Amino acid sequence: MNSYLLEAPPSVEAGLTVNDIWKVVRRRSRVGFAILGTVVLLAAIYCAVTTRRYQASGIVQLQKESAAGLNMADIDGAPGAAAAADDALAANINLETQAGILTSDTLALRVINDLDLEHSRDFQPHFNPIGAVLGLFASKDAPEPAGLSLEDSPTRRTRAIHTFEKNLDVKVLPGTRLIEIDYTSSDPKVAATVVNHLIRGLTDYTFQTKMASTSEAAGWLTGQLADLRKQSEDEQEKLAALQKQTGIFSYGTDNQGREQVYSDVLDQLQQSTAALSAADSNRILKEAVYKAVKSGNAELISELSGNSAAGTGPAVNTALNLIQNLRLQQSTLETEIASAEKHYGPAYPRMAELRASLDKTNQSIADEVTRVSERAKTDYDVAQQTENEVRARYEANRRAADQLKDKTIDYSILREEATQSRNLYEDLLRKLKEAGVLQGLKASDITVVDPGRVPAKPKKPNVPLYMAIAAAAGLLLGFAGTLVAEAVDHRIQTIEQVERLLGAPLVGILPKYGKDRNELDSLRQVRTLDAPRSAYSEAVRGLRATLVPARSTAEPPRVVVVTSASPEEGKSLTVKNLAVSVAQQGKRVLLLDADLRRPADQKGVEFSGKHGLSQLLSGEDAAASIVQVDGMANLFVLPAGPVPNNPSELLSSAKMGKLISELRTQFDLILIDTPPVLPVVDALILCELADSTLLVARHGVTPQASLKRAYQTLLTRTPRSQIGIVLNGVTMNSDAYYSYYGQKTAHYYMENVNETA
């Protein structure tokens, strides 16, 4: 008896690998290609039926704010105003402001009215399924009277502005002073016209805004200039009167722009201040000389001679020089006396003469010191008197200057006010004249770089882009669809599924059967005979080798039950081809049709006889015959016979067991074709009488749950080692076939002209 568990099933790694995903994609390629084709087809249909929309573009440049307008910043003339206009933040704010004006409702309504866009194709109502559904639950507004303008029709105005803004795109180009204006329309000429009209509207709006500001400022200036002129004239008169009172006179400005003024009082105060400083200095010097001379120190007095810093007079200076000369004589005599006394002694006759000359010189010095002291006293008294007189004149001038100080401050304030009033009047008058000139000019800060031009080709739909997106989306959705199809499909697709599900290896894989083949074919027409070198025939021979080995020490199975989990899984075709293949080996084979529930006319020519197994088991007198297949000496068939009322009871009877025992002695192999396992119990009854059981599953048809349940049901009646799994209907380009037989095997087979694997 064969054991189908000699080889353990290969281990299956947990988790999903890239190779597994690739196998899933190949296996479900039809789903993926169907989704891809559907998405691409829908995109093509959309591109074919959608309305062509054209986009016109225009670019304008926003220049720096010019001085063409009249504003208070110009009048003020602050140095920071120009810097603020050039500031990057201010420029960016200005750009965003102009972009906001382009998207404003007011400008949109002006363009819609001027170009009559409300009656164009784009502004006509279109059916919107979402809007229609929401409209069923929304409150109904009262209908607007006909003939009203857009401004007076809120519903129409809102709808028109919404449509206009949906087609309009305004953006500031980063890092520049450029604004791009895009408008999309089904009519290319309308798109270009709208862009140009928006640019013209923005230019007009900017000009009108400046003109309104200029007119308003000019009107205000006209009313203020008269009062300002009268105020300036009054201040000039007050300034002239105060100038006469103070005696201050202006004679222009210096190189640094400072005003030069002259005042007699201030000039006298300046002169008396200088005189007082000189007198005070002279008095201090004379006092110092007097105190030095008054000490009577001849040596100290002699040092004052020739010192110009002492500030002595001519007489005193002459006396000081005389004292200095006498001091030299005194020093010379003292030296001679000391030298003579050292060499000749005190009794030397010339000593008396030298001492007499020294005494005379000392007396002259004392007399001269007395005279110098008197003269220094006189000079000091004169300097003191002079200082007092100068100080008196200084104090008088200072009091006069203090009296003038308050008037001078008033004069300076009034002069500044008069100057400012005069300058303000002149500036306002100049601006007013400029405003009068500008009213006749049309200046704008908007420069058209690129006007709106009629586009040559539509912007939407972008067929290459849409088709590329559709292809990418189709591939993505197709890939997702293959994974979903794999996840929801619980049918047998791979060998790994079977082995992982049942824990048992496959004993054979049969390729998909030939075209136009079915169970009603005669045994003479089976593929094993018609295409002996086909892949299917070789696969049947492989199954035969597994079932009936050519050389084996163990006894091969004599009775084999062939069944399936459910109907239409190819077990009958499998058993027919297997019977023919074993018979070709020279062994006597009996194909026993044990499916007592199907009529004979649904089983083929050899199984359509009126006598068969049901009559043998029911004990009827009709002689049941075993039919030999024409042209095949070793192949015999025992039909099922008429359909009985109690097929299960007949198959489980003692007669069935006795019949099988008798047939064992007559044939080398008995193949029993039984009904499916799950619908009826017949296969379970017969597998107890058999040596082996082949459970046939159909690739891509048999559900995994059905196969597992059928296998577990068989295990309740027969050992695991006697059950073999056969996967039927495997396409030759599938992963299941490649993983079992390999990929490069086609050259080993030879298909007939009318056969397709």
Ordered by start, the domain boundaries in the chain are 1-50+461-489, 277-438, 492-744
Read off the pLDDT of each residue in 610-634 and give the average, rounded to a whole number: 76
Q: Considering Cα of 23, then 24, then 29, then 33, what sign does the dihedral take?
A: negative
Q: What are phi and psi for residue 300, nearest 5 degrees?
A: -65, -40
Geometric angle at alpha carbon 486, from 485 and 487, rounded to 5°: 90
Query: What are the helix (H) ranges across 532-589?
Result: 535-547, 571-584
Superfamily name with CATH number, domain 492-744: P-loop containing nucleotide triphosphate hydrolases (3.40.50.300)
Q: How confident is the prediction for the chain on average, in pLDDT?
A: 76
Read off the pLDDT of each residue in 76-97 and give the average, rounded to a whole number: 63
Contact between residue 603 and residue 519 where contact means Cβ atoms under 8 Å apart: yes
Chain Cα centroid distance, residue 375: 104
C-alpha distance from residue 461 to each of 189, 456, 660, 679 (Å): 18, 14, 76, 58
The reported pLDDT for the residue numbered 473 is: 92
Contact between residue 479 and residue 32 where contact means Cβ atoms under 8 Å apart: yes
Residues 59, 36: Cα–Cα separation, whole Å? 41
Print the SS3 string covering 74-134. HHHCCHHHHHHHHCHHHHHHHHHHHHHHHCCHHHHHHHHHHHCHHHCHHHCCCCCHHHHHH
Higher pLDDT, 85 or 367: 367
The reported pLDDT for the residue numbered 562 is: 92
Q: Which of 67-71, 217-221, 468-472, 631-635 has the highest mean pLDDT?
A: 468-472
Residues whose CB falls within 8 Å of the CB of residue 745, separated by 6 or more in sequence, listed in order:
535
The reported pLDDT for the residue numbered 139 is: 59
Query: Of 179-183, 223-227, 629-633, 728-732, which gets the smallest average pLDDT?
Result: 223-227
Q: What is the DSSP string of 673-698?
A: E---TTT-SHHHHHHTTSSEEEEEEE
Residues 530, 516: Cα–Cα separation, whole Å? 13
Assess whether pLDDT exceeds 60 at residue 551: no
Read off the pLDDT of each residue in 627-637 and give the average, rounded to a whole number: 86
Geometric angle at alpha carbon 700, from 699 and 704, rounded to 5°: 85
Read off the pLDDT of each residue in 63-88 and give the average, rounded to a whole number: 52
Residues whose CB falls within 8 Å of the CB of residue 70, separated by 6 or more in sequence, listed in order:
213, 214, 217, 218, 431, 434, 435, 438
Assess whether pLDDT exceeds 50 at residue 1: no
What's the pLDDT band for 671 if we cut at 50, 70, 90?
Answer: very high
> What three-state secondary structure class fits 382?
helix
The reported pLDDT for the residue numbered 73 is: 47
Residues whose CB falls within 8 Å of the CB of residue 551, separated by 6 or more in sequence, listed in order:
none
Structure tokens at 296: 């009577």
pTM of the model: 0.54
Residues 446, 430: Cα–Cα separation, whole Å? 26
The reported pLDDT for the residue numbered 183 is: 92
Q: Which of 1-5, 210-214, 399-403, 507-511 has the highest mean pLDDT?
A: 507-511
Burial of 450 (0-12, 13-18, 19+ CB in 10 A): middle
Higher pLDDT, 333 or 629: 629
Quick: pLDDT tens for 368-387.
Answer: 777 777 777 777 777 778 87
Read off the pLDDT of each residue in 132-150 and give the average, rounded to a whole number: 67
Amino acid at 29: S
Query: Of 172-176, 364-368, 635-639, which gets the smallest average pLDDT?
Result: 364-368
Assess whether pLDDT exceeds 80 at residue 647: yes
Instruction: List the end-to-end C-alpha distance of the chain, in Å, as a whole number.
Output: 33
Residues 524, 631: Cα–Cα separation, whole Å? 8
The reported pLDDT for the residue numbered 755 is: 44
The reported pLDDT for the residue numbered 316 is: 63
